[in-house]
Chain A
Amino acid sequence: MKELEDKLSHAVLAEATPAHQARMRALFDEVQTPPRLVNRPVALWKCAAACAVCVGLGFVLSGLRAPESAVRTPPSPVLTAHPAVPSAEQHGPGEAEEHLSTKPWPRRIVVGEIINRSDGWIEATLEEAP
């Protein structure tokens, strides 16, 4: 039996075609070079962390932006006329006085005392005109 086993083992086996061998090589190469994200979970974590940072930054920036009403400049009480408030000429002195006292604006402001400060600034008090 040993002699027969030797004889069998010395026979050269048939080989697959070169096309098949190329197909098998391609099969291994295809599996060995997958997209990096699929093959490396750590890259997914990095990506997720980067996304979280971007989203968080977006929230922070949107929160920092002041609302439109806060940055709007209030109308100057002296220079801006309020169209809804009738003037004194239209109603007469008594009526106009009464109306102005109930409405916050417009009002006439006059400069009261002016103080020259030692640090170079000028301090002034504003008073509502009678």
Chain B
Amino acid sequence: MHTADIEEIRRFYEAHQRALYAYALTLTGCGSAAEDVLHTVFYRLLRLPALPRDLKPYVYSAVRNGAVDGMRRAARSAPEESIVAHLNGSTPPDRIALQDEVAHLLRAVNEDERECIVLKIYAGLTFDEIARTRAVSPNTAASWYRRGMEKMRLAAKENAS
């Protein structure tokens, strides 16, 4: 792989590292497993003979495949770590409340819906790209997203009342 391609992958990683980690964490439910998946994905990506054409969907697909393979090998029950950061005490209370609420809302949806919401909102993928990542039709991806958001909206309403 050319130096320019390697540099492009590095830039991509630096721009997406939080979203990639969040996605891997959504799939594995375990921080250390998510880190291993990311490392393996980029280790393999950097050793490809050429840069994949659509890097973003390619990398997210690779993260998904790596996470699924890892979980199959380990056959473990995921401890379900949250993708939302635990902020320290110096953070304003309303900010901490927002973090807690989002973590709570993400637990209100099923795996497909959560994965789709993370890819759409945090990774910035389009429904077409999500569909390619998940090997489903764009309509299915959009449907997962809408259903998940509706569940979240109801959960937020319940929380508020």
Contact = CB atoms under 8 A, between A and B. Distances in A.
A binds B: yes
A84 interface: no
Contacts of A39: 3
Interface of B: 1, 3, 6-7, 9-10, 13, 17-19, 21-22, 25, 31, 34-35, 38-39, 42-43, 46-47, 81-87, 98-99, 101-103, 105, 117, 121-122, 149, 152-153, 156
Given A13-B122, A15-B21, A27-B39, A1 B6 contact: no
Contacts of A13: 18-19, 21-22, 83-85, 122
- Give the interface residue-count category, chain A: 20 to 34
Provide the main secondary structure of the chain B interface.
helix
22 contacts: A1-B149, A1-B153, A4-B105, A4-B149, A5-B121, A5-B149, A7-B101, A8-B102, A11-B85, A11-B99, A12-B84, A12-B85, A13-B19, A13-B85, A13-B122, A14-B84, A14-B85, A16-B38, A20-B39, A23-B35, A23-B39, A28-B6
Interface of A: 1, 4-5, 7-17, 20-21, 23-24, 27-28, 31-32, 39
A7 B98 contact: yes
